Amino acid sequence: MSPTSAPSSRRTRNRALRSPLARFLVRRIVTALLLAVGITLVTFVLTNLVPGDPVSANLGQRALGDPAIVAQWRADHGLDRPLPQQYLMHLEGLLHGDLGTSQQSHRPVLDDLAESVPATLELAGAAILVSLILGVGFGVIAALRRDRLSDHVLRVLSLIGISVPTFWLALVAFYVFFFRLQVTPGSGRIDPGMTPPPQVTGLYTVDALLSGRWDVFSSAVGHLAAPALVLALYTIGLLTRFTRSAVLEVLGQDYVRAARAKGLPGRVVLFRYVLRPALVPVITVAGLAFGSLLSGTVLVEAVFAWPGVGQYAYKSATTLDLPAIMGVGLVVGVVYLVINLVVDVLYGVIDPRVRVS
Amino acid sequence: MKRAGLFARTRVSRLPQAWRRPLAIVGTVVALAWIVVALAAPVLAPHDPLAQELPRLAPPGPGHWLGTDQLGRDILSRIMYGARVSIPLTLLLVVLSVLIGGLLGACAGYFGRWVDETIMRLADLVFAFPTVILAMVVAAALGASLGNAVLAVLVVAWPAYARVTRGLVLGVREREFVLSGRLLGFSAWRSLRVDVLPNVTGPVLVLATLDIGTALLLLSGLSFLGLGAKPPSPEWGAMVAAGVDVFDSWWVATFPGLAILTVVLAFNFLGDTLRDALDPRTARAIKERAL
C-alpha cells in the first residue's frame, strides 16, 4: 500500500510515534511487558526446581498410599504434562487471576495476597515518605556543609544506616521501645480488640481517616511508626549519600557560580539552580530504594508480626508452599516492575536527554 | 630526575592520603581484627561453641562475658567461631560474583550483538526482583542450607558486576590501543585479557569491596529467615533469629547482630575509601585538602 493511500489514522499514529517521548514510552512499556513475562517464567522454573514433592505436601498419608488417587491429583493439577505445557497452563491461569491455591491456608493465593498487599504497601509507603524527606534533607545539608563537622557526622550516620542488619535493628527497636520503654504499641497493625476501619483502600491510616475514626487512626499510626522507621533507615542512608554527591556535582557547575556572581540570594540559587537539576536523578534512586524496602519488609514484618506480604512470604518459604511462593515472587516482581516503569517514564518526561538516548 | 621524582610523589601519595583518613583507619583496623578473630578462634574462644556446659540464658558476666544462650552455650565463643563461617563465605560469595558477573559483563560489552543481548536481558530479569525476595525464593527452591543460601545470593549478586563491567568495557573497546591490538592480529580473548580487563578492574574492585557488606547482610538475613545455616552452626544471622524466642534475654540477639554490623560497617568504610582513592575527582579533592 502506498503512503498516500494509507488511512489517516495510521498517518496520525506514525506522526505520534515520531515524537521522541512517545517512542520512549512505547519502548519502556514493551520492555516492561517482556520483563513481566520473564518474571512469570523465573518463578515457574524456580518453583519446579523444588526438591520437595507437591503431591506429598498436599495429600494425606492414606491418599498417598493409593496410586490412583495420586495419579488423579497429578492429572487434576496438570503435573502429568510436560513442563512447557504446565507453564502455558500457568500463564493462562494468571490471565484469569488464578495464582493457585495455597497449600497451607487452603485458600486462593490471590485472596491471601489481596489481604496482605495493602499492609505491606502502607508500611513501605510510610517508609519511603520518611526516607525521601530525611534522606534528601540530610543529603542537601551534607553537601552544603561539605567537609565540616555536620558533613562528617552525616557521612558516618548514613554509612551506619546502610550497614545495620534490618532484622536485628527491628528486634532491638522492638525490645527497647516496646518491651523496655513502652513508648510504642506492640505488634500488629492496630491495638488488639480494636475493629479495623471499613475497607476502602486497605491502608488502615487512610481508611480510618475516611471513616472519621480517630482512635483507629492514632493506633494505626502508632503501630506503623517503629517498623516504618526501622525499614527506612537503610534507604535514608542510601538517599543521603546519593543526594550529597548529586548536589555537590551541581554546585561545581559554571551556571551556579554565575548565579552566585550575579548576586542572587543563596535561597534562590539553592532551590532554583541547584536542587532542581540535582534532585532529578534522585527519582531513579528512590525507585531502587523502594525495591530494597520491599525486600526489607520480609525481615521487618517477621519481627513486628506485621500481617503483610513479607510475613506471608516468610511463612510460605519455610513451609515450601509452592503456589504461595510463586504468587509472592510474581506479585512483588510486578509491583517493583511497575514502580520502575513509573520512575523511568517520570525521568524521561522530566529530563529530555534520557528519552533521546 | 626532579620531574620523575615529583611524578613519583603524586603517584605514590594518592592512595595513602585517602587511607590516612579516620574512616579508612577504623575500617582497616576493624576488618583486620575480625579476620584475626576468625583465624585464631580456636585459641581465642574461651569455650567450645557447641558445648552446652554453662547455665542457660545467663546474662553477661565473669566466665561468659557476652552471656549464654537457651542451650547454655557461650555467646562470645559462638560469635568468634561464627566469624569462621560468615566472613569466608561472604568473601567467597563476592569473589564468585565478581568472576561470574565480570566475565559475563566483559563478554557482553566486548562481543556485543546476541551475546550482549542474552546476558543483559538475563541480568534485567534478575534486576526485576527485589533482592531479598528473589534470594528467598531461590533459597527456598533449592532447599534450606548454608550452601544453597550462598548460591541464592550469587544468583542475585552477579548482574551488578555484569552491568558495571559491560559499561566499562564498552568505554575501553573503541580506544586506539585496543583497536591497534586487534589490527595487529591479536585474538579477541587476548585483547580482552591483556588490553581491556586491566582497565576495568579498579571500579569493579571498589564495587566488590562495597558489596562485601551487602552480601553479608543478605546471607545472614537468609539464615535469620531459616533458609541458611542450620542449628547448631554458630552463624550470626541464625544466632540473632534464636534471640527472637527469648526476647527478655537481650544479649542472645544483640551481640551477634553487633558482630554483623561491625563487619559490614568496616567493609563499607573500606569501600568508601577505596572509591575516593580511585575516583580521580574525589582523589584530587582529597589531595587539595591535604596540601
CATH number at residue A266: 1.10.3720.10
Q: pTM for the whole thing?
A: 0.85
On the question of pLDDT at B281 being above 60, the answer is no
Average pLDDT over residues A22-31: 85
User: Any idea which residue has 562528617 for its cell?
Assistant: A152
User: Any idea which residue has 569493579 for its cell?
Assistant: B204
On the question of pLDDT at A174 being above 70, the answer is yes
Contact A77, A126 (CB under 8 A): no
Residue A137's H or E segment, with its range, is helix A109-144
CB contacts < 8 A (A, B): 142
Report the C-alpha gap between A74 and A80 in whole angstroms.
6
**Average pLDDT value over all residues in chain A:** 84
Compute the half-sphere exposure of residue A357: CA atoms within 13 Å on the CB side of its CA.
7
Most confident of the ranges A48-52, A186-190, B9-13: A186-190
Average pLDDT over residues B140-147: 84
Look at residues B289, B49, B4, B259 and name the one whose alpha carbon lies nearest to residue A146. Answer: B289
On the question of pLDDT at A55 being above 80, the answer is no
For residue A229, being part of any structural domain is answered with: yes
- pLDDT score of A9: 57
Q: Which amino acid is at B173?
A: R
The structural domain count of chain A equals 1
Which is higher by pLDDT, B19 or B206? B206
Which of B21, B129, B142 to probe the A interface (max A CBs under 10 A)? B129
Average pLDDT over residues A51-75: 74
Q: Which amino acid is at B46?
A: P
**Does B141 contact A46 at a Cβ distance shorter than 8 Å?**
yes
For residue A237, being part of any structural domain is answered with: yes
Question: Which cell numbers hold the place of A185?
Answer: 504499641
Average pLDDT over residues A342-350: 80
Interface contact B139, partner A, CB < 8 A: yes
Interface contact B128, partner A, CB < 8 A: yes
- pLDDT score of B290: 41
For every residue of A158-189, DSSP letters joined together read: HHHHHHS-HHHHHHHHIIIIIIIS--S--SSS
**Does B129 contact A156 at a Cβ distance shorter than 8 Å?**
no
- Residue A7, classed as helix, strand or coil, is coil
Report the C-alpha gap between A227 and A119 in whole angstroms.
12
Residue A199 DSSP label: P
Categorize the per-residue pLDDT at A226 as very low, low, confident or very high, splitting at 50, 70 and 90.
Answer: very high
On the question of pLDDT at B32 being above 90, the answer is yes
> Closest-CA residue in chain A for B121?
A35
- pLDDT score of B279: 63
On the question of pLDDT at B282 being above 60, the answer is no
Report the C-alpha gap between A271 and A283 in whole angstroms.
17
On the question of pLDDT at B2 being above 50, the answer is no
Task: Encode chain B in three state secondary structure.
Answer: CHHHHHHHHHHHHHHHHHHCCHHHHHHHHHHHHHHHHHHHHHHHCCCCCCCCCCCCCCCCECCECCCECCCCCEHHHHHHHHHHHHHHHHHHHHHHHHHHHHHHHHHHHHHCHHHHHHHHHHHHHHHCCCHHHHHHHHHHHHCCCHHHHHHHHHHHHHHHHHHHHHHHHHHHHCCHHHHHHHHCCCCHHHHHHHHHHHHCHHHHHHHHHHHHHHHHHHHHHHHHCCCCCCCCCCCHHHHHHHHHHCCCCCHHHHHHHHHHHHHHHHHHHHHHHHHHHHCHHHHHHHHHHHC
A163 Cβ neighbours under 8 A, 6+ residues apart? B213, B217, B261, B264, B265, B268
Look at residues B96, B101, B59, B91 and name the one whose alpha carbon lies nearest to residue B76. Answer: B59
Q: Is A317 exposed, middle or buried (0-12, 13-18, 19+ CB in 10 A)?
A: buried
For residue A30, being part of any structural domain is answered with: no
Question: Among A49-53, A61-65, B113-117, B272-276, which stretch is predicted with the lowest mean pLDDT?
Answer: A49-53
d(CA A208, nearest CA chain B) in Å: 30
Question: Among A76-80, A185-189, A220-224, A289-293, which stretch is predicted with the lowest mean pLDDT?
Answer: A76-80
On the question of pLDDT at B247 being above 50, the answer is yes
Categorize the per-residue pLDDT at A13 as very low, low, confident or very high, splitting at 50, 70 and 90.
Answer: low
On the question of pLDDT at B85 being above 80, the answer is yes
- pLDDT score of B226: 84
Phi and psi dihedrals of B84, rounded to 5? -75, -20
Question: Which range marks the domain in which residue A127 is found?
Answer: 115-356
For residue A184, being part of any structural domain is answered with: yes
B106 Cβ neighbours under 8 A, 6+ residues apart? B165, B166, B169, B192, B196, B197, B200
Q: Is A3 exposed, middle or buried (0-12, 13-18, 19+ CB in 10 A)?
A: exposed
Categorize the per-residue pLDDT at A56 as very low, low, confident or very high, splitting at 50, 70 and 90.
Answer: low
Categorize the per-residue pLDDT at A12 as very low, low, confident or very high, splitting at 50, 70 and 90.
Answer: low
**Does B133 contact A175 at a Cβ distance shorter than 8 Å?**
no
d(CA B169, nearest CA chain A) in Å: 19
Facing residue for A167 by CB, picked from B133, B143, B221? B221
Categorize the per-residue pLDDT at B8 as very low, low, confident or very high, splitting at 50, 70 and 90.
Answer: very low
Which of A117, A154, A167 to probe the B interface (max B CBs under 10 A)? A167
Which of A28, A146, A148, A168 to probe the B interface (max B CBs under 10 A)? A168
Residue A197 DSSP label: P
Question: Which cell numbers hold the place of B99?
Answer: 568472576
- Residue A104, classed as helix, strand or coil, is coil
Percent of chain B with pLDDT over 90: 47
Question: Which cell numbers hold the place of B107?
Answer: 563478554
A105-130 pLDDT per residue, tens: 889 999 999 989 999 999 999 999 99
User: Any idea which residue has 533449592 for its cell?
Assistant: B142
On the question of pLDDT at B152 being above 50, the answer is yes
Percent of chain B with pLDDT over 70: 89
Query: Measured between alpha carbons, how far is residue A166 from residues A105, A154, A162 in Å?
Result: 28, 19, 9
Interface contact B280, partner A, CB < 8 A: no
- pLDDT score of A4: 47
- pLDDT score of A1: 40
Categorize the per-residue pLDDT at A18 as very low, low, confident or very high, splitting at 50, 70 and 90.
Answer: low
Contact A38, B125 (CB under 8 A): yes
A253-285 pLDDT per residue, tens: 899 989 989 988 888 888 888 888 888 878 878
Q: Which amino acid is at A142?
A: A
Look at residues B91, B57, B90 and name the one whose alpha carbon lies nearest to residue B74. Answer: B57
Categorize the per-residue pLDDT at B6 as very low, low, confident or very high, splitting at 50, 70 and 90.
Answer: very low
- pLDDT score of A50: 64
Average pLDDT over residues B101-119: 90
A318 Cβ neighbours under 8 A, 6+ residues apart? B140, B144, B225, B226, B227
For residue A110, being part of any structural domain is answered with: no
For residue A140, being part of any structural domain is answered with: yes
For residue A7, being part of any structural domain is answered with: no
Categorize the per-residue pLDDT at B5 as very low, low, confident or very high, splitting at 50, 70 and 90.
Answer: very low
Question: Which cell numbers hold the place of B288?
Answer: 587539595
On the question of pLDDT at A52 being above 60, the answer is no
Rg (CA), chain A: 25
- pLDDT score of A72: 83
- pLDDT score of A2: 44
Compute the half-sphere exposure of residue B101: CA atoms within 13 Å on the CB side of its CA.
30
Question: Among A12-26, A181-195, B31-45, B219-233, which stretch is predicted with the lowest mean pLDDT?
Answer: A12-26
Average pLDDT over residues B179-204: 83
Categorize the per-residue pLDDT at A218 as very low, low, confident or very high, splitting at 50, 70 and 90.
Answer: very high
- pLDDT score of B77: 96
Residue A301's H or E segment, with its range, is helix A276-304
Phi and psi dihedrals of B68, rounded to 5? -130, 160
- pLDDT score of B291: 38
Look at residues A254, A187, A197 and name the one whose alpha carbon lies nearest to residue A222. Answer: A187
Phi and psi dihedrals of A58, rounded to 5? -105, -30
Crossing angle, helix B236-245 and helix B75-111, to 10 degrees?
Answer: 130
Query: Measured between alpha carbons, how far is residue B154 from residues A343, B109, B150, B216, B229 in Å?
Result: 27, 21, 6, 12, 16
For residue A294, being part of any structural domain is answered with: yes
On the question of pLDDT at B70 being above 70, the answer is yes
Question: Which residues 98-117 in chain B show a CB within 8 A of chain A?
Answer: none
Contact B102, B161 (CB under 8 A): yes
**Average pLDDT value over all residues in chain B:** 85
On the question of pLDDT at A3 being above 50, the answer is no
Average pLDDT over residues A220-237: 93
On the question of pLDDT at B286 being above 50, the answer is no
A160 Cβ neighbours under 8 A, 6+ residues apart? A237, B261, B265
Categorize the per-residue pLDDT at A42 as very low, low, confident or very high, splitting at 50, 70 and 90.
Answer: confident
